[in-house]
């Protein structure tokens, strides 16, 4: 049984996979949630096992309450939950608002906002001293788009991440006296395949010259920030969202 358990949603690729690997290296037992790509999720777990870590892949849709309970029951079996990284999220093809179907907007809000809130509620019920827990940390994945709106491209996605920023502040204050710290990370242009979901697989390459540091970020760099926020080195940090953007303030 692990001494401390971390749940990462959307952990089969990109930032989520980097978080899973780094968390395991830092001594967490990892529950890696995924939606559909079982091969990718199991590959991340295999990498962790090969390095001597503990991890299990659990399939589930974070927008469905019954799936969330399945994910967190797996954590209960592994050991005491001490950390949650709300990484699962979706984006849709580039479009203006007046061309978006209501179903598209609803699905993005269901996964990105409802999923984060429901997973956080499950974590609070386990970690809060009010419920007999020993405290812990939650990190929510936002986006630079939350500050800039992503006009003409991902307005619905940007709005969902703006909601995450507000939720991070509110939940942090709500549970600050119960041993739980809640923070966020706001990645900018990161070298993953995420933008391929939006029909722009070359977006990272195209925007790289606009980044003051001269390059896109890596999933590992975002994961390092997340694990710092969960560590005792950040013991007095809550309600904060850190920008991991390489100095880039504008996302067109």
Q: Domain containing 43: what range?
A: 5-244
pLDDT band at 196 (very low <50, low <70, confident <90, very high): low
34, 154, 157, 236: which one is catalytic?
A: 157
Rounded Cα distance between 211 and 133, Å, is: 42
> Domain for residue 61, yes or no?
yes
pLDDT recorded at residue 252: 40
> Domain for residue 53, yes or no?
yes
What is the model's pTM?
0.95
Question: Residue 61 is inside which H or E element, if any?
Answer: none
Active-site residue, 157 included: yes
Rounded Cα distance between 109 and 221, Å, is: 27
Helix (H, G, I), strand (E, B) or coil at 128: coil
Closest CA to 152 of 252, 5, 20: 252
> Domain for residue 102, yes or no?
yes
Per-residue pLDDT tens digits for 105-148: 999 999 999 999 999 999 999 999 999 999 999 999 999 999 98
Instruction: Give the residues across from 58 on adjacent strands.
Output: 33
Rg (alpha carbons) of the chain, rounded to whole number: 17
Question: Residue 5 is inside which H or E element, if any?
Answer: strand 5-8
pLDDT recorded at residue 251: 42
pLDDT band at 199 (very low <50, low <70, confident <90, very high): low
Q: Which residues are CB-contacts of 15 (< 8 A; sequence separation ≥ 6)?
A: 87, 141, 187, 190, 192, 219, 222, 223, 226
Strand pairing report for 241-244 and 81-86: unpaired
Closest CA to 115 of 149, 92, 147, 85: 85
> Domain for residue 252, yes or no?
no
Q: Which residues are CB-contacts of 26 (< 8 A; sequence separation ≥ 6)?
A: 227, 231
> Domain for residue 250, yes or no?
no
Q: Which residues are CB-contacts of 12 (< 8 A; sequence separation ≥ 6)?
A: 32, 34, 35, 37, 40, 41, 44, 57
> Domain for residue 176, yes or no?
yes
Q: What percent of the chain has pLDDT over 70?
A: 96
> Domain for residue 150, yes or no?
yes
> Domain for residue 93, yes or no?
yes
CA 184, distance to chain mean position in Å, is 9
| Total structural domains within the chain | 1
Per-residue pLDDT tens digits for 77-92: 999 999 999 999 999 9
The answer to whether the CB of 111 falls within 8 A of the CB of 164 is no
Strand pairing report for 180-187 and 5-8: unpaired
Rounded Cα distance between 234 and 230, Å, is: 7
Cα angle 172-174-175, degrees, rounded to a multiple of 5: 70
| CATH number (domain holding residue 122) | 3.40.50.720
């Amino acid at each position: 049984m692990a001494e401390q358990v971390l749940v990462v949603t959307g952990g089969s690729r990109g930032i989520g996979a980097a978080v899973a690997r780094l968390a395991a290296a830092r001594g967490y037992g990892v529950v890696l949630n995924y939606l559909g790509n079982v091969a990718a999720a199991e590959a991340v777990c295999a990498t962790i096992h090969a390095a001597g870590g503990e991890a299990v892949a659990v399939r589930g849709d974070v927008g469905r309450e019954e799936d969330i309970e399945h994910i967190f029951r797996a954590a209960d079996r592994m050991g005491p939950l001490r950390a949650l990284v709300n990484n699962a999220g979706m984006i849709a093809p580039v479009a203006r608002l007046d061309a978006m179907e209501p179903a598209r907007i609803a699905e993005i809000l269901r996964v990105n906002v409802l999923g984060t809130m429901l997973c956080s509620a499950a974590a609070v019920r386990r970690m809060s001293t009010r419920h007999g827990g020993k405290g812990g940390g939650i990190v929510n994945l936002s986006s630079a788009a939350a500050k800039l709106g992503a006009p003409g491209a991902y307005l619905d996605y940007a709005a969902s991440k703006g909601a995450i920023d507000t939720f991070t502040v509110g939940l942090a204050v709500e549970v600050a006296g119960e041993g739980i710290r809640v923070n966020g990370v706001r990645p900018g242009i990161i070298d993953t395949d995420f933008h391929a979901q939006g029909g722009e697989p070359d977006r990272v390459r195209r925007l790289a010259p606009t980044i003051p540091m001269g390059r896109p970020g890596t999933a590992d760099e975002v994961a390092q920030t997340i694990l710092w926020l969960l560590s005792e080195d950040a013991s007095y940090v809550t309600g904060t969202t850190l920008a991991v953007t390489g100095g880039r303030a504008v996302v067109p």
